[in-house]
Structures are given as C-alpha cells and as structure tokens.
Amino acid sequence: MIRYLIIDDEPIAHRIIEKYASQLPHLQKAGNCYNAFEAMQILQQQKIDVLFLDINMPKMKGFDLLKTLQHTPDVIVTTAYQEFALEGYELNVLDYLLKPFSFERFVKAINKIKIPAPFPAPIPRVEITEMQSLFIKGDKKHYQINLNDILYIEAYGNYAKIHLENQAILSHLKISELEHRLPSSFIRVHKSFIVSRPSIQILEGNMIHIDEHKIPVGQTYRKR
C-alpha cells in the first residue's frame, strides 16, 4: 500500500487527485494539507510514501518545505508553473505534473514509485479445466468476473484494465500476471493486449475487431 499526502492550497486540486487515486487500489490517502505547516505536523506523526506537492502556496512555498525535511518521501509536484521544473528535479522530485493533468499522466507518475511488496509471492498457475471465473481486486473491491464476459485486457502501466461488454475494471495485477492466470481461450496478441478468442469477430491485417474495439497485433505475436 502506498500512503500519499496532498499539499495544495486549492481544494479543487485535492478533489482531482483523490478522484484519480481512488481508481488505483494501491493508493491510500493519509491526509489533506492546505499549507506547508499542516504538512509538517503529519510528516512528523505518520509514515508517508509520496507527497503530491503544489509549489505556489501561502506562508511557505512547496520547495521551501522540501528543503526543511530531513527525510523526504517521494515527491510528485502538481503545479500550473512549468518554469520551476528544473529546480524541482534538482531537489530530486519523482515527477512534475502540470495542471491540468490527465488520469493517464497521473498513472505514469505513480508507476515511478518504488515500494517493495511486503509479502512477495509467486502467482500460482490455475488449472484450466476447473476455471470458470476469476477474482480480481480493483477499486478497493474484489470482483468475481465470469471469463466468458471478458472481451480483452489492456496493459495500463503497472496495472491492467479488463474490458467487459458494459464496463472496464482496473486491476492491480500486471498484464503478464493475468496472462499466467488465464486459460487457453485467451491469447496474448500484443505486449499491451490479451484477447478472448471467442470474442474475436474479424482479423484484418494487423488489427483484431471485437465489437467497436480495434486491437493491434504485435509483429512478434502474429504467428500465434
């Protein structure tokens, strides 16, 4: 679990980060701070893995706060001012997000955080003959997904998005881990895509058609 702290004087910035973070099961909010002095208190009391830090705040600027810390967590800068990027990287910030930033850009920044898993364990290979459904953790819930309902799976940074007919579920598993757990009715067709064989409607050149979706076929996977 990655514990994060938001430090920003704009309430709307907190809401956007919270909305994005709620879609990633490994993120847990530790608190909301609207100035540097509130952040100092929390950082003294709790273990924080990453700061979402604004630069231009009243009382004390974001980078001035960093210079006061003896032990600095990973820092993802969230700001509307690109001119401070060089100074940020000189302070070893993990990433520099310019407002407004997209969810995809947010995920890319999160994927740079290096937090060792507390209990690493190999992913067991499931017996194909008995497998009808799959339990997946996503959005802080566990979903039981009928394998027949899966159209295709898309790599999403260190996560995977499972596309069903009427919804998509973001799983904390990597696409390579899901590939190990799925039966032979699923096939890897690209480094970023696994498709359900029964769902394939058309194969045209280097594209697979599943409903309105078009999935590319990677050159190294084409012989399959």
Domain-located, residue 117: no
Tell me, what's the pLDDT at 131?
57
For 154-164, b/e burial (b = at least 16 CB within 10 A) is bbbbbbbbbbe
Q: Which of 43, 77, 110 is the last residue of a domain?
A: 110
Least trusted range by pLDDT, from 12-21, 49-58, 169-178, 191-200: 169-178
List the beta bridge partners of residue 179: none
Tell me, what's the pLDDT at 115?
62
Q: Are residues 6 and 98 in the same domain?
A: yes
CA 98 to chain centre: 18
Domain-located, residue 213: yes
% of the chain with per-residue pLDDT over 90 = 57
Q: Are residues 26 and 56 in the same domain?
A: yes
Q: Which of 78, 110, 142 is the last residue of a domain?
A: 110
Tell me, what's the pLDDT at 125?
47
Q: Are residues 104 and 191 in the same domain?
A: no
CB neighbours (10 Å) of residue 189?
21
Contact indicator for 77, 7 with CB cutoff of 8 Å: no
Q: Are residues 78 and 13 in the same domain?
A: yes
Amino acid of residue 147: L
The structure tokens 């993802």 sit at 76
Domain-located, residue 30: yes
Contact indicator for 22, 139 with CB cutoff of 8 Å: yes
Q: Are residues 145 and 46 in the same domain?
A: no
pLDDT higher than threshold 90 for residue 207: yes
Q: Are residues 18 and 50 in the same domain?
A: yes
Q: Are residues 96 and 25 in the same domain?
A: yes
Q: Are residues 8 and 80 in the same domain?
A: yes
> pLDDT for 72-130, tens place per residue?
899 999 999 888 888 888 888 999 999 999 999 999 999 988 765 454 445 454 444 44
Average pLDDT over residues 25-33: 94
CA neighbours closer than 13 Å in the CB half-sphere of residue 182: 26
Domain-located, residue 151: yes
Residue 210's domain comprises 130-221
Q: Considering its fold, how many domains does the chain have in total?
A: 2
